[in-house]
Structure 1
Amino acid sequence: MLLVFSVLAACSNANTSNPPASNAGGSEEGQGSAKKDVKLTFFNTSAEVNTVFEELFKSYHELNPNVTIELIPTPIGGAQLEKFQSLLASNSPATIANLDAGTILQFKDKFLDLEADKAKYEALTKPGAIDGALLDGKFLGIPWTAQGYGLLYNKRVVEEAIGGTFDPASIKTRDDLAALFAKIEAAGTAPVMLHGADWSLGAHYLGLTYSLQSESVDSNRAFVEELKNGNVKLSENPQFTGLMDTFDLLIKYNARKKDPLVADYNKDSADFANGNAAFYFMGDWTWAVIGGLEGRDQEFGIIPVPVSNNASDYGNAQVAYSEPKLLAIDNSGSTPEQQEAAKAFLEWLVTSEKGQTAIVSEMGLSMPYKEVAVQGSNIISEAVTQYVDNGNAMNIGVINYLPQDYWAKTGASMQKYLVGKIDRQGLVDEIEAYWKSYAGK
């Protein structure tokens, strides 16, 4: 299910001139494409859309007969990183890799520095998109999709419970949320669905702790280092304690309170979509499950997770937002011709109508680009985009710098807390012990 958390990315070009932002939906032919036959390989960790990528490769080959792109598929699950490492070890790296940002950072010496293309992509993307993709200050991967998460809501259920129109901006504090939950429960519906999987609890919920400290990713990284060194007491950290106070509220009103660790993602998503819970702590990626359900409700939205009773506190008005996967170009075994052809393909992917249609309509994802000629069907993603466009997005880029096991280890502790096996202090002790185990690393 970790794959649900991450889902996709893309782009770049060999031509040194900067095309205007209005290039989206323009020329279908890859600009600056290779003049002689070039074969590229594409390592894809978004396994659920393998066939969509393969069709894109065919379309691009029709436009550029001298460029052939071969998919290197990966299984859904944990074997993806091992396969990527094996390609490096065998001196046969993929020309293009669709990877989690943290993986690109881990192997940063193996990828092409795209600094020369940075200004071009800053012009093409929404404000902050490229800054959010930087890894140790370097532009190593091109963003092609973006995702957000928070408290999704089923509009019909909420409005029937309150007897009127629901204004998501009315929930500014934890007390606002508590009052709304009480009304929904009184109306006979479960107020919230809390998915009990470790990735949801450890990465998505508890993971907010590290992003809530500051709007600066570098400052948040410094906070994590202080955690490792034992210089932070979470029990005295207002962001953590506020987040956990809200978690207690979610536990109280959880639709799965009788069996919170079942963690059936498809069932939880379907029950929310069918009106069996008013809210759902999850992200816009759940549209892949609920979008095609027959008989589901039709209107959904998202609000941030309120973390305090001071409406102006950072996080109360911001939806968690990230570019979960980036497209990077190999610099360890690829030829200059392959690298230039890869740049041309990636730019075509994110700016052409064909590429945008595949990403937005067929994959059901949103793009952090200014000019997108395709209207998507993902209602929740569109709601996230409104927060982004209004400047109310929380950059959770600090997660790119966290250990690979942080979500599983701390997620297990959150599961214990969820079912009452440990109290708040016990949770603090386990989380702090985890981070201290990484001291000096």
Structure 2
Amino acid sequence: MRTTCIRHARRTATTTVTGVLALSLLAACGSGKSTGSERSSGKVKISVVSLKPGSEKAAVDTFNAQVKQFEQENPNIEVTPKEYEWKATTFAAQLAGNTLPTEFTVPFTDGKTLIERKQLANLSSEVKALPYAATFNPKVLSAGQATNGDIYGIPWAAYGIGLQYNRTLFTKAGLDPDKPPASWGEVRSDAKQIAARTGQAGYAQMTQSGTGGWMLTTLSYALGGRMEQADGNKVTATVNNPQTKQALQKLHDMRWDDNSMGSNFLYDWGGMNQAFAAGKVGMYMGGSDVYTSLVQQNKINPADYGLAVLPLDSSSTEAGILGGGSLAVVSAKASQAQKDAAVKWIDFYYMRKLTKQDAAVLDAKTLAQGKQPVGTPSLPIFDKATLDKSNEWIKSYVNVPLKQMTSFTSGVFSQNLVAEPAAQTQALYGALDPVVQAVLTDRNADIDSLLSKADSDVQTILDRG
């Protein structure tokens, strides 16, 4: 591994997903040599991300059981789990402060810039030695590749945004939980009915820590809009488009005319999940894989949960759902021995269950014994046939309420999947947070002026590079 001093750097798809980060930071040089602290009693020591802070004890115990399985298979490797949750507001500081584990995860949108700024280990030779290396969906793999094709990040999870909905609130409101809304007009009317009959927010929107821009982009995509346009190396902001204006007007009308969005307009990802699991939100947009976190962190009652495909504007051929995912990466400071060990862990923990039946069954059995979710909907890392095969292997262990997710699982593969904005993704999202907040907190907010300013702000960010 080559480690170079760098001076600059800074979000769970089947299309090319790239992105860059918005902050600057300093990263120190690493020697790339194995030290005494990396080995003890002949063992290579690595730290790996475990679960999000606040996960229930049963989830932690299950993860630790998987660590023991790995160490039994690899007696020369010692693994130390570390709690971790990627957040746009804290990641740069963690990276600069060298507090991240040897192996950690980042969103697809972060891969390119971390690679360009040499903050990740080059894993090309290690990944190419894996038996399934040639079968990755190339568009998905590209999120973790440099321009020359070298591999720095291994894609392990892909999602599409769906409409999360609370079946219990639907029932209390006199709505059929087996018939979730299929259009944004129905979302609005159902939200209004839920709010009027239950006193809870019929629909809620994330608005801070970059999630406001993320979800506004999602809604704009669903209506046929796009936030950027690339022409060679030139990227132009297109935030100020008719579909994004329409999206903001929908939120304005639900908030101010219908009073169906509750009273909290400062939700981030964790806060939204908490409120939803507590029965305070009828519907919100979120990744298809969020059920796992709702169980592990928020103890949601499975009977409450429903997942539907995101309604798309049927009049637009450009309408689609936003797709994203996660890369497993290794610190640029890792020694060669640690790189080898970390890729073995990534293979064991993330990848084998997708490609090998015995590994898939062991993973599902371990999770099920720990009462952890098995079978949460995802999108293909390789191809749909491989995903379908792995789902069949674990069928007898599936414990998530799939019958309550059929709208999504039966409909998502016929929807147009659209990658997140490719350039300055997190900065773009951050610039849109205050726009969404303004519309939800000021009845007289001027949407045209807000979008015009946001478009100019984003263009400045794009031009700065």
SS of residue paired to 2:80: strand
- Pair 1:417-2:439 in alignment: yes
SS of residue paired to 1:198: coil
Deviations 1:38-77 (A, max 9, x none): 5142353854369455443322111221222234555886
SS of residue paired to 1:207: helix
Tell me the distance in 2 between the aligned counterparts of 1:280 and 1:210.
Answer: 15
CA positional deviation for 1:87: 3.5
Q: Which residue of 2 aligns with 1:107?
A: 114
From 79, 87, 95, give the equivalent of 1:84. Answer: 95
Q: Which residue of 2 aligns with 1:343?
A: 343
CA contact 1:196–1:263 (8 Å) conserved in 2: yes
Q: Which residue of 1 aligns with 2:78?
A: 68
**Which AA in structure 2 matches 1:377?**
V
TM-score with structure 1 length normalisation? 0.68
**Which AA in structure 2 matches 1:348?**
F
CA contact 2:105–2:328 (8 Å) conserved in 1: yes
Q: 1:440 to 1:112 in 2, by over 3 A?
A: same
- Pair 1:204-2:204 in alignment: no
Q: Which residue of 2 aligns with 1:288?
A: 293
From 241, 244, 251, give the equivalent of 1:240. Answer: 244
Q: Which residue of 1 aligns with 2:323?
A: 321
Tell me the distance in 2 between the aligned counterparts of 1:387 and 1:139.
Answer: 33
Tell me the distance in 2 between the aligned counterparts of 1:204 and 1:367.
Answer: 19
CA positional deviation for 1:95: 4.5
Q: Which deviates more, 129-138 or 141-150?
A: 129-138
CA contact 1:39–1:68 (8 Å) conserved in 2: yes
Tell me the distance in 2 between the aligned counterparts of 1:40 and 1:285.
Answer: 31
From 279, 300, 303, give the equivalent of 2:309. Answer: 303
CA contact 1:44–1:72 (8 Å) conserved in 2: yes
**Which AA in structure 1 matches 2:236?**
L
**Which AA in structure 1 matches 2:346?**
L
Deviations 1:113-149 (A, max 9, x none): 43736982564x6896545665656643222233443
Deviations 1:390-425 (A, max 9, x none): 2426333436x4254433332022211211263112
Q: 1:216 to 1:405 in 2, by over 3 A?
A: closer
Q: Which residue of 1 aligns with 2:8?
A: none
TM-score with structure 2 length normalisation? 0.65
Deviations 1:163-208 (A, max 9, x none): 657434x62x433444545565676665723145414752332233
**Which AA in structure 2 matches 1:326?**
L
Q: 1:340 to 1:266 in 2, by over 3 A?
A: closer
Deviations 1:200-249 (A, max 9, x none): 752332233785698999x8555995435xxx471xx2332333333334
Q: Which residue of 2 aligns with 1:17?
A: none
Tell me the distance in 1 between the aligned counterparts of 2:362 and 2:458.
Answer: 45
For structure 1, list consecutive stretches of 5 or more residues without a partner in the other structure.
1-5, 8-35
Tell me the distance in 1 between the aligned counterparts of 2:456 and 2:305.
Answer: 43
Tell me the distance in 2 between the aligned counterparts of 1:295 and 1:103.
Answer: 33
Q: 1:367 to 1:301 in 2, by over 3 A?
A: closer
For structure 2, list consecutive stretches of 5 or more residues without a partner in the other structure.
1-10, 13-40, 353-358, 381-386
Q: 1:302 to 1:414 in 2, by over 3 A?
A: same
CA contact 2:153–2:328 (8 Å) conserved in 1: yes
**Which AA in structure 1 matches 2:161?**
Y
Matches within 5 A, 1:4-403: 37-44=42-49, 47-48=52-53, 51=60, 53-71=63-81, 78-87=89-98, 95-108=102-115, 109=118, 110-114=120-124, 116=128, 120-121=132-133, 123=135, 129-130=140-141, 139-158=151-170, 161=173, 166-168=178-180, 171=182, 173-181=183-191, 192-199=202-209, 202-208=212-218, 226-228=235-237, 232=238, 234=240, 237-251=241-255, 252-253=257-258, 255-257=260-262, 259-261=263-265, 263=267, 269=273, 272-273=276-277, 277-283=281-287, 284-285=289-290, 288-289=293-294, 293=299, 297-306=303-312, 308=313, 310-315=314-319, 318-323=320-325, 325-330=326-331, 333-335=334-336, 337-349=337-349, 350-351=351-352, 352=359, 353-355=361-363, 362=372, 368=379, 370=387, 371-372=390-391, 373=394, 374-377=397-400, 386=409, 390-392=413-415, 394-398=417-421, 401-403=423-425
Tell me the distance in 2 between the aligned counterparts of 1:297 and 1:74.
Answer: 28
CA positional deviation for 1:281: 3.4
Q: How large is the RMSD of aligned CA atoms in angstroms?
A: 4.6
Q: Which residue of 2 aligns with 1:20?
A: none
Tell me the distance in 1 between the aligned counterparts of 2:447 and 2:139.
Answer: 36
Q: 1:121 to 1:150 in 2, by over 3 A?
A: same
Q: Which residue of 2 aligns with 1:28?
A: none
SS of residue paired to 2:132: helix
Deviations 1:24-45 (A, max 9, x none): xxxxxxxxxxxx9551423538
CA positional deviation for 1:432: 1.5
